[in-house]
């Protein structure tokens, strides 16, 4: 099952990385106002965390053969019995929850940073 956990981590981290890249691009587009950029990043990262929580909750109803992690497993690791499928779902759910927790921490840090920037009087460079 270590191979399954490794592949689930890789697939989830890649998806979260692409989301973080998109969030970073949006934050960069608001770079004229650092407070707004941090708030936008915090809200979008919070949305990513919520999406990961929903994915973790619904993984039990999903067919394991339709997941990206299952596709990356080699043929020997793809056991089709119900116990193996349940273990796969549990590992994938824990992986989603771990990333949801991490993104929640990042979102909270961005909210705090935006508040600190606002309290420090950082304003738009155009205003």
pLDDT in tens, 22-75: 999 999 999 999 999 999 999 999 999 999 999 999 998 988 888 888 888 887
Question: What is the pLDDT of the chain when averaged over all its residues?
Answer: 91
C-beta separation of 42 from 114 below 8 A: yes
Q: What are the tokens at 66? A: 């339709």
Give the count of beta carbons closer than 10 Å to the beta carbon of residue 100. Answer: 21
Which token pair is 27? Answer: 């934050």
User: What are 71's two structure tokens?
Assistant: 């596709």
Given this model, what pLDDT does residue 1 score?
60
Query: How far apart (Å, rounded) are the C-alpha atoms in residues 122 and 19?
Result: 27
**Rounded CA gap, 64 and 100, in Å?**
20
Please give the residue that has the higher pLDDT: either 10 or 76: 10
Q: Domain-by-domain residue ranges, the chain?
A: 2-119
**CA proximity to 124, closest of 55, 49, 34:** 34
pTM of the model: 0.89
């Amino acid at each position: 099952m270590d191979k399954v956990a490794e592949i689930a981590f890789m697939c989830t981290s890649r998806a979260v990385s692409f989301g973080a890249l998109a969030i970073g691009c949006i934050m960069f587009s608001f770079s004229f106002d650092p407070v707004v950029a941090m708030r936008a990043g915090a809200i979008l990262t919070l949305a990513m965390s919520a999406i990961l929580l929903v994915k973790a909750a619904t993984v039990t109803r999903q067919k394991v053969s339709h997941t990206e992690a299952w596709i990356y497993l080699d043929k020997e690791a793809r056991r089709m019995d119900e116990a193996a499928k349940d273990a796969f779902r549990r590992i994938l759910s824990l992986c989603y929850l771990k990333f949801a927790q991490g993104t929640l921490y990042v979102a909270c840090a961005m909210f705090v940073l935006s508040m600190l920037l606002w309290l420090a009087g950082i304003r738009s460079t155009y205003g």
